[in-house]
Amino acid sequence: MKRGARQGGVCRIICGLFGLGLLLTAHAAPSPFDFDLLQARAKTVAARPYAVTPTRAPGWLQAYNYSQYSDIRFNTDHAWWKAGKLPFQLQFYHPGWLFKQPVQMHEVLGANEQLIPFSTGLFNYLDGLAAGRLPPDLGFAGFRIHYALNKPEYLDELVSFLGASYFRSLGRGMHYGLSARGLAVNTGEPGDEEFPRFEEFWVERPAADAKVITVFALLNSPSVTGAYRFVITPGIETVMDVKVVVYLRRSPAVVGLAPLTSMFQHGENTGWSRDDYRPEVHDSDGLLMQNGAGEWIWRDLTNPVRTRTSTFQDKAPRGFGLLQRDRDFIHYDDIVANYHLRPSAWVEPVGDWGAGTIRLLEIPTRDETNDNIVACWVPAKLPALGEPLAYEYRLHWFMDATARPPAGHVASTRQGAVLDHPERRRFVVDFAGENLDQYGANLEAVVTVGAGAKLDNGVFVQKIAPLGVWRTAFVLVPDGSGRPVELRCFLRKDNTVLTETWSHLWNP
């Protein structure tokens, strides 16, 4: 689940003199553009039968492997808007390998849109013959936005849109990790999942002193079309204000809004893998939710034996996200992947999203090359065919999660065997948070066990000073039915709840 030709020699000469970022193609006159127009286009497209966008990539280019594809590199001298020394720049992805279908790019200047043409002059080819063997209308595979995120003199990669409706972003000091998507269709359902595509993009040319950049996208698939607007504000925490209007061509079993996609191979809650020298390997270690009633819930992720789907019913959710809470390098011991620097992503609904469920899909994976985690919001009711599904949300990419939640939080989850009782499981849940110590001793752990098991010998709670955590430990006794067991736990003092709720699904 994870990641043409050309204007010829004349274009390359002009681009060299004036910079591709300032060159407006003469193939078509500018035309008006705004979100309302894009929404109208999406509705028109939805009324037509779906047609797959044909690839224009030659067969030899489609057959490229990862290494060959990586040898086609964007020429950074021709970054869009570089010549104008604007605070944001665009670079483009070349079609090939997994990314065969073309994406059309436009620049929005004022109230007008203008096509950004493909050109071999935008890329460096190690195979000197490749550029001359490509059609002039090849198109792009996607694009990325660059901005001076960490140092004023260097424009880092800030956002990348590549593959279906996938995109990912960074805040200051981060390394790429999990991704977001425009929409999830039939994720985790029997049969094939549908992957809608962003087929066209429009990017507003930023002003010389711009601190934000706006991207528009048209999404299309057999079941849906959609109009998207992303207003992106980079910083320590990069924030995207996302506005969406979706139209259904047909009624899928599941439509997931604001989907997040990540990877979890193993962590402290699953035990150290004997086939990997690294203690933990994951882009995210848990799903955090704040439901409509204000309760914060943490579900630790796992790499299951078989695919499993968990749903959390709610009304007017306040937020959900896939978080990388563990920031200790030694817990990963990986100087290449830098899992301790992977971002978390938090979806903050704008307005009332109504009734529905937060859906978590966990898929088995043998290695870290596959994204096997999906989280999204599934509305309880979809509009009629042709009617709009309109919603907005704020998507945060961040590292420091101290404000989410504002109370004590789960620091780690562990489980293991019980001596002389192999059928039982011992759970150890650590809670952290500066607010916990102010309540002194005698904190109470409230543990709830669902059908299929019971607790043995009560619940143990103690402050572990060397780790700065409050530890809750208990033993689970299954009833032998083989049913999965839902577990919940939180800390309180008297009648005051001090932490988020730990939620765990145990499979015998």
Residues 25, 10 contacting (CB under 8 angstroms): no
| Domain ranges across the chain | 16-164+197-249, 254-406, 409-506
**Is the pLDDT reported for residue 17 higher than 50?**
no
**Is the pLDDT reported for residue 349 higher than 50?**
yes
Q: How far apart are CA 367 and CA 72, in angstroms?
A: 27
Q: How far apart are CA 463 and CA 413, in angstroms?
A: 16
At 124-142, the pLDDT tens digits run 998 766 777 899 899 999 9
Place domain 409-506 in its CATH homologous superfamily: Immunoglobulins (2.60.40.10)
What pLDDT band is residue 122 in, cutting at 50, 70 and 90?
very high
DSSP 147-176: EEEEETTEEEEEEEEESTTEEEE--TT---
Quickly name the fold that domain 254-406 has. Answer: Beta-galactosidase; Chain A, domain 5 (2.70.98)
**Is the pLDDT reported for residue 257 higher than 70?**
yes
Q: How far apart are CA 375 and CA 362, in angstroms?
A: 9
Residues 312, 291 contacting (CB under 8 angstroms): yes
Q: How far apart are CA 488 and CA 503, in angstroms?
A: 5
At 453-507, the pLDDT tens digits run 999 988 999 999 999 999 999 999 999 999 999 999 999 999 899 999 999 999 8
Residue-level pLDDT at 33: 93
**Residues near 406 by beta carbon (within 8 Å), at least 6 away in sequence:** none
Q: How far apart are CA 103 and CA 164, in angstroms?
A: 10
Quickly name the fold that domain 16-164+197-249 has. Answer: Beta-galactosidase; Chain A, domain 5 (2.70.98)
What pLDDT band is residue 429 in, cutting at 50, 70 and 90?
very high
Q: How far apart are CA 309 and CA 497, in angstroms?
A: 28
Q: Within a 10 A sphere around the Cβ of 488, how many other Cβ atoms?
A: 14
Out of 3-7, 129-133, 372-376, which region has the weakest mean confidence (pLDDT)?
3-7
What pLDDT band is residue 396 in, cutting at 50, 70 and 90?
very high
Q: How far apart are the first and last CA of the chain?
A: 28
User: Within the chain, how many helices (H) and strands (E) appear?
Assistant: 5, 34
Average pLDDT over residues 341-351: 98
Residues 284, 177 contacting (CB under 8 angstroms): yes
Average pLDDT over the chain, rounded to an integer: 91
**Is the pLDDT reported for residue 23 higher than 70?**
no
3-state secondary structure 420-482: CEEEEEEEEEEEECHHHHCCCCCCEEEEEECCCEEEEEEEEEEEECCCCEEEEEEEEEECCCC
Q: What global pTM score does this model have?
A: 0.92
DSSP 14-55: HHHHH-GGGPPPSSS--EE--HHHHHHHHHHHHTSPP-PPPP
Tell me whether the CATH fold assigned to 16-164+197-249 matches the one assigned to 254-406.
yes
For residue 62, give the DSSP letter: H
**Is the pLDDT reported for residue 115 higher than 80?**
yes
Residues 372, 364 contacting (CB under 8 angstroms): yes
Residue (of 483, 472, 493, 346) closest to 414 by Cα position: 472
What pLDDT band is residue 29 in, cutting at 50, 70 and 90?
low
At 146-180, the pLDDT tens digits run 999 999 999 999 999 999 999 999 999 999 999 99
Residues 356, 183 contacting (CB under 8 angstroms): no
Average pLDDT over residues 231-260: 97
Q: How far apart are CA 205 and CA 191, in angstroms?
A: 42
Residue (of 24, 85, 77, 76) closest to 208 by Cα position: 85
Which residues on neighbouring strands pair with residue 96, listed in sequence order? 99
Q: How far apart are CA 179 and CA 167, in angstroms?
A: 6
Average pLDDT over residues 77-105: 96
Cβ-in-10-Å burial (0-12, 13-18, 19+) of 220 comes to buried
What pLDDT band is residue 401 in, cutting at 50, 70 and 90?
confident
